[in-house]
């Protein structure tokens, strides 16, 4: 079974059909990349020669949205033999890990976890796929990359999805390393205008039961650009913003923190 072509726009299909072990996509806001990925993952889990899929979003809301999309694809579109979405809490020492998953008749599972790098320990086997979403906003993306490296040893497929968050952000540095052949992988790109040209607004009209015309599309696109203003280059045109300082992940900031005693000073005239 293959993912239904009439439901995916060209750039979504190109992304989910990528065969490289490591793939990265820099994208505009709300281009439907995560949604398409959820649908493709259901097919991989349902196949007898497939594998498990793992998703880690920026926060728990993203993980919940991903697994809800996966359930829709599995039940409403493909009619796959699988469980309903199950949610439970795993204990890792003193840490609690919220897990959402769907179990397929094949025996494989589609799982969404919280974004802690430690959640990847002891996971992954040949055929498994891991997706990391909104990577540029991950609190410890460097730690995530380090943990993900071990997954490659067992033939797991790694996918990194995000909008940009500065040119010095670790996500953008990963892209630059791949383009410079310093790291293995391929990079996909989709701007807001490219997504529109490939049918994004027409798809929005279909979903929201609105009539499409070229004039309404042009007006809508301009309204989106007007709303983002100076941030449109980064949020829509996938051009990382420049800054005077380096992006510091939270783990480095914590290492520099020291305990301090609050001193109360009384001022007198």
In a domain, 159, yes or no: yes
In a domain, 83, yes or no: yes
In a domain, 198, yes or no: no
**Number of domains observed in the structure of the chain:** 1
Q: Which residues are CB-contacts of 158 (< 8 A; sequence separation ≥ 6)? A: 21, 22, 23, 129, 130, 132, 148, 151, 152
Q: pTM for the full model?
A: 0.85
In a domain, 119, yes or no: yes
Residue 77 belongs to domain spanning: 21-191
Give the burial class of 52: count Cβ atoms within 10 A of its Cβ; 0-12 exposed, 13-18 middle, 19 or more buried: buried
Q: How far is residue 172's CA from residue 164's CA, in Å, rounded to a whole number? A: 7
In a domain, 49, yes or no: yes
Q: What is the pLDDT along the chain (269 residues), one digit of tens a residue?
A: 666 668 999 999 999 999 999 999 999 999 999 999 999 999 999 999 999 999 998 888 899 999 999 999 999 999 999 999 998 887 666 667 788 999 999 999 999 987 666 666 667 788 999 999 999 998 889 888 888 888 888 889 999 999 999 999 999 999 999 999 999 999 999 999 999 999 999 999 999 999 999 999 999 999 999 999 999 999 999 999 986 334 444 444 444 544 444 333 344 43
In a domain, 209, yes or no: no
In a domain, 177, yes or no: yes
Kindly report the CATH number assigned to the domain that includes residue 30.
Answer: 3.40.50.300
The radius of gyration of the chain's CA atoms, rounded to the nearest angstrom, is 21
Q: Which residues are CB-contacts of 157 (< 8 A; sequence separation ≥ 6)? A: 21, 22, 23, 128, 129, 130
């Amino acid at each position: 079974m293959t993912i239904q072509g009439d439901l995916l726009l060209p750039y979504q299909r190109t992304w989910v059909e990528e065969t490289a072990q490591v793939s990265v996509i820099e994208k505009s806001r709300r281009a439907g990349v995560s949604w398409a990925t959820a649908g493709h993952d259901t097919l991989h889990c349902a196949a007898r020669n497939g594998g498990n899929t793992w998703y880690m979003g920026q926060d728990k809301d993203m993980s919940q949205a991903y697994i809800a999309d996966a359930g829709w694809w599995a039940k409403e579109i493909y009619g796959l033999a699988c469980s309903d979405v199950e949610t439970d809490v795993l204990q890792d020492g003193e840490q609690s890990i919220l897990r959402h998953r769907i179990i397929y008749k094949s025996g494989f599972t589609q799982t969404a976890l919280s974004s802690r790098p430690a959640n990847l320990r002891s996971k992954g086997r040949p055929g498994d796929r891991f997706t990391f979403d909104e990577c540029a906003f991950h609190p410890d993306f460097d730690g995530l990359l380090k943990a993900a490296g071990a997954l490659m040893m067992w033939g797991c497929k790694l996918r990194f999805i995000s909008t940009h968050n500065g040119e010095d952000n670790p996500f953008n540095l990963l892209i630059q390393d791949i383009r410079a052949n310093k790291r293995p992988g391929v990079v996909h790109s989709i701007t807001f205008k490219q997504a529109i040209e490939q049918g994004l607004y027409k798809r929005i009209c279909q979903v929201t039961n609105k009539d499409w015309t070229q004039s309404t599309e042009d007006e809508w696109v301009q309204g989106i650009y007007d709303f983002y203003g100076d941030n449109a280059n980064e949020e829509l045109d996938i051009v990382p913003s420049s800054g005077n300082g380096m992006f510091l992940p939270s783990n480095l900031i914590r290492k520099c923190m020291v305990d301090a005693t609050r001193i109360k000073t009384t001022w007198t005239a």
